[in-house]
């Protein structure tokens, strides 16, 4: 990582339909809101231009970035290309929903022309029943078609999968993993579904309409995932992320390495070094508040936080243990002995790494090692 590298996140807050498990900030798409938002976003980039040097990664997340028009993407990229230097090996990722990949590939081809070189596709499952229960807008066939289109244009593509979905059996999960592998993606993100409070799915579970997958089955699903991907030569480089050689997501690796990053757009987070201090903050999670502030020439920052040395050390441990690189400790914590005996960590010359078993209960291990 070069010191003058900048890692940029751009939040596109629109979705065509809200998924039943989602608690990210996203709002229904409309053309009018898109136009207002993109104008504000470009203004924010220019207002904060001093924070950007050479761009190492650019990540469009959401929401569903692929709902916005080619013209909007083009306007954002133009302001970036006109004002900043890009590293020759820049990684430019766009998150995509299978329901928004155009049948003529037009948006995928256009993004490629703009310099996008990585697509992260939210597949979640190849079971239509489960996709429906999650409130996803696409069917499994939509996902299959989208993968074929994406893979023709982007060798570096990632699939997002989800396990421990209420109603999911071990066989359905195995089918999803096996089918995902048949497309030979460069990268796979696989998340255990944890129902977030007050989402429709959470309410269904609370009132007994549906049930969480039991712990033993969840462990079985995780074991199948890790062993199958290992056999297929994917490197399990972070709790929920697996990649072929040299295909780790550089943008996300920077988060886990405690690197600085600049987030643009409503609800986007930043981690920056300014005036000799390390700060974390986020932009207002409301498109109107966000756009009004920007149009007044002010930054819509909420919750600015100065990271103390003590907090930075906790972050270093918390983030580092999420990855297969682990964390160096000057003094090995007392709790490590018990975790080692339980097969949850490995210790090598003061470097602690979580094992596959440890990744599954990472929160527990991290809490023990931080205390």
* Site of interaction with ligand SF4 (CB under 6 A): 15, 18-19, 22, 24, 26, 62-64, 97
190 class by beta-carbon count within 10 Å (0-12 exposed, 13-18 middle, 19+ buried): buried
123 or 213: CB nearest ligand SF4: 123
22 or 33: CB nearest ligand SF4: 22
Nearest approach in angstroms of CB 234 to ligand SF4 is: 23
Q: Tell me how far apart the alpha carbons of residues 100 and 65 are, in angstroms, rounded to a whole number.
A: 9
98 or 300: CB nearest ligand SF4: 98
The strand pair at 118-124 and 86-96 is best described as parallel
How many CA within 13 A on the CB side of residue 181?
Answer: 18
Nearest approach in angstroms of CB 136 to ligand SF4 is: 7
Q: Which of 180, 193, 188, 108 is nearest to 140 (CA)?
A: 180
95 or 179: CB nearest ligand SF4: 95
Contact 140, 131 (CB under 8 A): yes
Residue 176 host element (H or E): helix 170-182
User: Which value, in Å, is the radius of gyration of the alpha carbons in the chain?
Assistant: 21
21 or 260: CB nearest ligand SF4: 21
Q: Tell me how far apart the alpha carbons of residues 136 and 203 are, in angstroms, rounded to a whole number.
A: 17
Nearest approach in angstroms of CB 196 to ligand SF4 is: 10
Q: Tell me how far apart the alpha carbons of residues 144 and 100 are, in angstroms, rounded to a whole number.
A: 13
131 or 253: CB nearest ligand SF4: 131
Residue 78 host element (H or E): helix 70-83
Q: Tell me how far apart the alpha carbons of residues 87 and 76 are, in angstroms, rounded to a whole number.
A: 18
Nearest approach in angstroms of CB 24 to ligand SF4 is: 5
* Residue in the block written with tokens 């490197």: 235
Report CA torsion sign: 81, 86, 88, 94: negative
Residues in the chain: 371
> 10 Å Cβ neighbour count for 251?
22
Nearest approach in angstroms of CB 120 to ligand SF4 is: 11
64 or 218: CB nearest ligand SF4: 64
Q: Tell me how far apart the alpha carbons of residues 92 and 322 are, in angstroms, rounded to a whole number.
A: 23
21 or 234: CB nearest ligand SF4: 21
Nearest approach in angstroms of CB 325 to ligand SF4 is: 29
Start-end of H helices in 207-353: 215-231, 250-256, 287-295, 309-320, 336-341
Question: Residue 317, SS3?
Answer: helix
188 or 352: CB nearest ligand SF4: 188
Question: Residue 183, SS3?
Answer: coil
Nearest approach in angstroms of CB 123 to ligand SF4 is: 12
Q: How is residue 348 written in tokens?
A: 């090598």
Nearest approach in angstroms of CB 278 to ligand SF4 is: 29
Nearest approach in angstroms of CB 114 to ligand SF4 is: 22
């Amino acid at each position: 990582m070069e010191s003058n590298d900048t890692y940029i996140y751009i939040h596109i807050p629109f979705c065509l339909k809200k998924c039943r498990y989602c608690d990210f900030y996203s709002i229904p798409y409309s053309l009018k809101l898109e136009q207002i938002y993109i104008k504000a976003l470009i203004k924010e980039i220019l207002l904060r231009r001093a924070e950007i040097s050479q761009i190492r990664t650019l990540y469009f997340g959401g929401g569903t970035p692929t709902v916005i028009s080619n013209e909007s993407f083009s306007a954002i990229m133009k302001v970036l290309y006109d004002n900043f230097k890009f590293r020759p090996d820049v990684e430019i990722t766009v998150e995509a929903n299978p329901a928004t990949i155009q049948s003529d590939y037009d948006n995928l081809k256009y993004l490629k022309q703009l310099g996008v070189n990585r697509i992260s596709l939210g597949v979640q499952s190849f079971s239509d029943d489960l996709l429906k229960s999650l409130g996803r807008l696409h069917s499994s066939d939509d996902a299959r078609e989208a993968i074929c289109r994406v893979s023709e244009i982007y060798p570096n593509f990632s699939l997002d999968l989800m396990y421990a979905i209420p109603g999911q059996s071990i066989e359905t999960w195995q089918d999803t993993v096996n089918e995902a592998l048949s497309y030979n993606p460069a990268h796979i993100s696989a998340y255990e579904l944890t129902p977030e409070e007050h989402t429709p799915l959470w309410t269904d579970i609370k009132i007994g309409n549906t049930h969480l997958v039991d712990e033993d089955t969840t462990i079985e699903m995780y074991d199948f995932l890790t062993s199958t991907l290992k056999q297929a030569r994917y490197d399990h480089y972070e709790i929920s992320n697996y990649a072929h050689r040299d295909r780790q997501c550089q943008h996300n690796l920077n988060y886990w390495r405690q690197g600085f990053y600049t987030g643009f757009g409503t609800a986007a987070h930043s981690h920056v070094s300014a005036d000799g201090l390390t700060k974390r903050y986020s932009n207002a999670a409301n498109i109107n508040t966000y756009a009004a502030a920007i149009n007044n020439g002010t930054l819509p920052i909420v919750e600015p936080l100065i990271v103390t040395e003590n907090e930075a050390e906790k972050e270093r441990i918390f983030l580092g243990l999420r990855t297969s690189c682990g964390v160096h400790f000057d003094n090995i914590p007392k709790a490590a002995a018990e975790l080692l005996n339980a097969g949850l960590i490995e210790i090598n010359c003061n470097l602690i790494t979580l094992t596959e078993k440890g990744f599954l209960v990472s929160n527990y291990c991290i809490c023990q090692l931080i205390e």
